[in-house]
Chains A and B, each alone.
Chain A
Amino acid sequence: MAKNHRLEILALVAVIIFCILFIYTSSISGNAQFSGSDTAGSEKIAELAGVPPDEIHPLIPQWVPPSAEIESGLFALQAAIGGIMVGLVFGYWIGQKKGTKST
């Protein structure tokens, strides 16, 4: 039993350690904002290029989500599309396996 589920246990332990690390680092570094590393990278670019980040304009005009709410909704949509694909295929395979067993 334990041997069959080694990977599951390992994954669970890794996720728990990851969460504990997050709680620990966010408690000791009170000023960490947990903004994106993309944002941090962009700020560094602005620093290296010697222009403020606001003055870097898109080369190709771009639609920007009007608020963080809308952005998070669209991110959830992206994850949902992936989730539907994964669920559909695993369901299809489970059904196929059952079908071949019963006949």
Chain B
Amino acid sequence: MHIMEGFLPLNWAVFWWAIALPCLVYGIYRLKKVLDADREALPLLGVTGGFIFILSSLKLPSVTGSCSHPTGTGLSAICFGPWITSVVCAIVLLFQALFLAHGGLSVLGANVVSMGIVGPIAGYAVYRGLRETRVNMFLTVFLACMLADMFTYITTSLELALAYPAQVGGVGSSFVLFLGIFAITQVPLAIVEGIVLALVFKYIVQLKPDILLRMKVFPEEKINAARGE
């Protein structure tokens, strides 16, 4: 999902930075508040952030004959919300921009918006919509993680389409072109990522249910039911 350095014109690079920066500042503020309220939230942040590090470094082949990587942001979005997730993503993306030439400093804003903000917001919205319903807890986690991944790539396509409208058909038709490259490759990866992160969530529920209860990640009945299973 990385937009490569130099591949966004200056005005668009600045535009996405202007959206990303306030979100990051708010995310740092939220992070401090959450950690001050409960020190036991730090290990949970370590696990969810750790999976963003791992999954976003894995470049996996897909059915379209090209490679892409999962994002791993869904779990963090569920436990901490999209704003704190954007801070973790910014750290990963900065590492990749500085040492791997994946993404870059001028396009960091755009990449943070797609991977750290829009993707997690999509996942978080699904999770919030399903949290109090009778939908199975792990199915909720699966859907949230899968959609966080998909929406990251859809956003990347949109960012590129806005900067590079096609001569015939404009933004709409180049959006479809970029979706064909990014989003279709991503579908099988997003499904596998969703299942794997749902499994990770199961282990968190088994090992440390009290932190999930204190942070009100899921209602008590759902967590207890999953533990008793």
Q: How many A-B residue pairs have CB under 8 A?
A: 175
Main secondary structure of the interface of B (DSSP, over half): helix
Given contacts A44-B181, A65-B101, 19 further A-B contacts (CB under 8 A): A7-B198, A11-B195, A34-B65, A34-B67, A37-B67, A37-B68, A37-B181, A37-B182, A38-B2, A41-B156, A42-B4, A60-B104, A71-B101, A82-B53, A83-B53, A85-B49, A85-B50, A85-B53, A89-B47
Q: Which residues of B contact A42 (CB under 8 A)?
A: 4, 7
Interface magnitude class on chain B: 35 or more
Q: Which of B150-194 contact A (CB under 8 A)?
A: 156, 160, 164-166, 174, 177-178, 181-182, 185-186, 188, 191-192
Q: Are B192 and A58 closer than 8 Å at their CB atoms?
A: no
Main secondary structure of the interface of A (DSSP, over half): helix
Determine if B92 is an interface residue (Cβ-Cβ < 8 Å).
Answer: yes
- Chain A, Cβ-Cβ closest to B189: A18
Partner-B contacts on A (CB < 8 A)? 3-4, 7-8, 10-11, 14-15, 18, 21-22, 25-26, 29, 32-42, 44-45, 48-49, 56-60, 62-65, 71, 74-76, 78-79, 81-86, 88-90, 92-94, 96-97
Q: Are B61 and A58 closer than 8 Å at their CB atoms?
A: no
Q: Are B50 and A14 closer than 8 Å at their CB atoms?
A: no
Q: Are B182 and A60 closer than 8 Å at their CB atoms?
A: no
